[in-house]
Chains A and B, each alone.
Chain A
Amino acid sequence: MTQLDSPPRSPTGGAAPLERRTVPLGRRLRRASMPWLLLAPALLVLAVLLLWPMLRVLNLSLQDFELRNLLRGESNYIGLDNYVQVLTDPFLWKTVLPNTVGFALVCVVLTMIVGTVVAVFLNSLGTAWRSISTTAIMVAWAVPALTGTYIFVWLFDPQSGLVISTLDGLGVMEPGSFNWFTNRWTFYAIATINVVYHGFPFIAVTMLAGLMTVPKELYEAAAMDGATAWSRFWNVTVPALRPIIAVCVILSTIWDFKVFVQIYLMPGGDGSTREVMNLGVWSYTQSFAQGEYGMGSTIAVLLTALLLVISVIYLRVLMKEDEL
């Protein structure tokens, strides 16, 4: 990451050093400490509430830390035993990891496709309809994950939800004959609809902002050369938007790996149906339902490590695009 270490460019360019020499030393010192004074409260909060807990969770992951350790305030280091136990658990490889990674991948792909299609469509509209449609998808974005999840659970309610009632009306399925929430595949299908519904507006709005910057002349030139709409999309739009697409893909990946509320609040998602657990829910229930904080921390560390890898890729892409 060479961009990280390069000194920030002076905004005033060549004139700055000349000017700076005339400023008295005391004032210069005061000016140098100014940004740190301004940053101090924010850095303090982030250090105490985000960085310190991250170190604490690492520390806990090396302990067999249960409720009694908490009550007596003792630590109980067991080295890497938790990691060995988690990483050799077939439950991780057969259930939790596929649920986390597979679900995230499907959601990212679907969110990107839906978001891009909507963005291209919005871009083809006139100003008035575009802003009305944008407001509508903003509503989809704004619905909190919490209530959004309950709405989808209600829509798919096996007894009297809209979906089963419609299927009953069509003569396909009887109400109550099948519980969508106890089957791994249908459970995650519903969760996918929920997450994609919540996630596509961000992609659409961001891609739309990008699309509007692509010069119209490029499309006209391509059309003159006889390119179809499809090939114009792949040969003009996609290359022009590559940086925005990269940022969208990585951010969606990070968000979809972290999905917790949308799973936890579905029937059986709080750990009572073990085969629908993902890493986040597993870590949470291991800690707060089983009282095994050490083991829960180990799972949390693994999830964080997974996200860290994606974040580093994200940063590299971002740093390549513009100076921070």
Chain B
Amino acid sequence: MNPRTRAGTAGRAIGVVVLISLSLFPCYWMISTAVDPSPLSRGASLLPSGFTLDHFRHVLVDAGFLRYVRISVIVSVGTVVLSAIVALLAAVAVARFRFRLRTQVLVMVLMVQMVPLEALVIPLFLQARNLSMLNSLLGLVIVYLSFSLPFAIWNLRGFVAAVPKELEEAAYMDGATWLRMFRSVLLPLVAPGLVATSVFSFITAWNEFIFALTFMQDSSKYTVGVGLRTFFTQNSADWGSVMAASTVITLPVVIFFVLVQRNLASGLTAGAVKG
């Protein structure tokens, strides 16, 4: 090995260390604050001053954060189930059929993602208020369904298109109806894509803040994002508790996301769209 490539290897090793530690640092700081017995006097020390689960116990048991987690889980799972069904049907339509206005439908699906939530929150709030849907979990699920649909359709379209048409034709040859073919051929083959898309829908609903803040005015209906704000008082924050609750919110998302990253990344580069 000549000196030049050895220097290159050393440079790359340093680069990897810097990249990984900077990427993970905020997460590390969150978790290490959450387990630190006295986070406010920790100062610049990189290691926590001790280890305790008190903040977690305070957050989950005393402050009732589990209630918010339950609400968020219900809303997110509801969104995932509805969005998977509706998006899969739509994705089959745009990936498998050539029909008039098909391009226009796709363009619309792309365009609606550009609409800022701040513009939607005013009319939808007024509408929900008129329909007495404020503080309703179903209301929130329906709103989140519309946010997750465009990305889900766009992403699933690629997965459906990747299934060879010959397989479908073979099913028809064997006398299968469209529905039978859909259930026995298409569905099993797009299942990985469906999982990746569902994870993304889950994250969209789990992370959403503006609508949860505006719609859920009754503290028994807070989602995790809105519930997190209860740990702040006028001028100070109980950072140990805030970071413990943040850990509870963040960990499932990070784990899900990293698990499906490969599927998701291929879908993203094909569609290049994030919610």
Contact = CB atoms under 8 A, between A and B. Distances in A.
Given A56-B127, A124-B12, A138-B257, A261 B210 contact: yes
Interface string A242-273: 00100110010011011011001100000000
Interface string B148-189: 011001000000000001000000000000100000000000
Contacts of B20: 132-133, 136
Interface string B72-97: 00000000000001110110111011
B153 A42 contact: yes
Nearest to B15: A121
Contacts of A221: none
A145 B123 contact: no
A115 to B, nearest CB: 12
Interface string A261-305: 100110000000000000110011001100001001100110110
B103 A4 contact: yes
Interface residues of B, number: 92
A78 B247 CA distance: 48
Contact of B261 (A138, A143, A152, A303): A138
A293 B121 CA distance: 11
B115 interface: yes
Contacts of B15: 121
B206 A144 contact: yes
Contact of B254 (A139, A152, A265): A139
A23 interface: no
Q: How large is the interface on A (under 10, 10 to 19, 20 to 34, 35 or more residues)?
A: 35 or more
A150 B207 CA distance: 13
Contact of A8 (B30, B103, B107, B124): B103
B190 interface: no
Contacts of B12: 121, 124-125, 129
A324 interface: yes
B23 interface: yes
Contacts of B39: 160
A140 B23 contact: yes
B107 A4 contact: yes
Nearest to A287: B122
A49 B146 contact: yes
Interface in A1-51: 4, 8, 10-11, 31-32, 34-36, 38-39, 41-43, 45-46, 48-51
A48 to B, nearest CB: 8
B47 interface: no
Contacts of B60: none
A70 interface: yes
A57 interface: yes
Contacts of B269: 205-206, 209-210
B16 A54 contact: no
B274 A255 contact: yes
B111 A154 contact: no
A62 interface: no
Interface string A145-156: 111101110110
Interface in B198-218: 203, 206-207, 209-210, 214
B126 interface: yes
Contacts of A139: 23-24, 27, 254, 257-258
B41 to A, nearest CB: 7
Given A255-B274, A293-B122, A324-B103, A165 B89 contact: no
12 contacts: A35-B96, A49-B142, A60-B126, A132-B16, A140-B23, A146-B249, A147-B249, A150-B242, A157-B237, A202-B268, A287-B122, A315-B111
Given A151-B29, A206-B269, A311-B111, 20 more contacts: A35-B93, A38-B92, A39-B90, A46-B109, A53-B119, A121-B19, A124-B12, A132-B20, A146-B207, A150-B228, A197-B26, A209-B265, A255-B274, A280-B118, A287-B122, A300-B122, A304-B116, A304-B119, A311-B110, A318-B110
Interface of B: 12, 15-16, 19-20, 23-24, 26-27, 29-30, 33, 39-44, 85-87, 89-90, 92-94, 96-99, 102-112, 114-127, 129, 142-143, 145-146, 149-150, 153, 165, 178, 203, 206-207, 209-210, 214, 225, 228, 237, 239, 242-243, 246, 249-250, 253-254, 256-258, 261, 265, 268-269, 272-274
